[in-house]
Amino acid sequence: MNNKAILVKDTDLKRTDTTRDFCTRLLDYLRQSNLHSQIHVVRVADIGVYEQGLVVKILPDKTTYVNVQDADIKRIVDAVFSQGQVIEDLVFKPKVKQHRIVLRNCGKIDPESIEDYISSGGYLALKKVLGELGQQKLIEEIKVSGIRGRGGAGYPTWMKWNFAREVESAEKFVICNADEGDPGAYMDRSVLEGDPHSVIEGLIIAAFAIGASKGYFYIRGEYP
């Protein structure tokens, strides 16, 4: 790749041809500016920025522009490559800090210590469920919370739990699916290894909600 390059990625997955069309118009303007032999245009799979429309990253200075429109092509090429300037209103400004929810304890507690988990507020939710709520109120609270499954369908959790609760059976089971069958997927592994008691607590609460007497963790064989 040339030292000077423009990386392009559309973070809106519903638009399939935007990146290709944008790159075509970008190349046309580079030819008009006699810069096409100096600047490489690359359609990439990931720039590390999401939900920001069409994203453009400039190399070698690594400036990233977001929500870029066709009308910005001339601005970017002229300002960056002809004048050496940065277009401030397009620059991606990441948040200084993320508010971690699922991974809030990872790296802060000993994952093998139940005492550490309890000292960070662990198992208080389970205590409330068993001591105050009961099955029906628990499911109602889950419904109000709007919590959904973390899979692709994003199915409402309360609905799945309620379906399972209403099934008449002498014995029920709840399973934590930690397989992560997609190649290179390790999101669940981070939670399981960094904060396992949070997963155990969640499984116990789910088991109580549906009336299950046993719970299982399905761990993929490739994890070790």
Same domain, 15 and 72: yes
pLDDT band at residue 33 using 50, 70 and 90 as cut-offs: confident
Extract the tokens encoding 108. Answer: 């802060």
Structural domain span for residue 35: 4-90
Q: State the number of CA atoms in the 13 A half-sphere of 158 facing the CB.
A: 13
Query: What pLDDT, on a 0 to 100 scale, did the predictor assign at position 16?
Result: 61
* DSSP for residue 198: H
Q: What is the mean pLDDT of the chain?
A: 84
In a domain, residue 179? The reply is yes
Same domain, 68 and 149: no
Annotate 9-44 with DSSP letters as a single string. EE--TT-SSHHHHHHHHHHHHHHHTT-TTTEEEEE-
- CATH number of 130's domain: 3.40.50.11540
Mean pLDDT of 114-127: 92
- CATH number of 72's domain: 3.40.30.10
Extract the tokens encoding 59. Answer: 């190399």
Total domains in the fold of the chain: 2
Q: Model confidence over 127-165: pLDDT tens digits?
A: 999 999 888 899 999 999 998 876 667 789 999 999 999
- At which of 90, 124, 146 does a domain end? 90
CA dihedral 31, 68, 97, 152 (to 10 degrees): -110
Query: What pLDDT, on a 0 to 100 scale, did the predictor assign at position 1?
Result: 41
In a domain, residue 104? The reply is no
Q: Model confidence over 180-210: pLDDT tens digits?
A: 666 666 667 778 888 899 999 999 999 999 9
**CA-to-CA distance for 218 and 1, rounded, in angstroms?**
43
In a domain, residue 172? The reply is yes
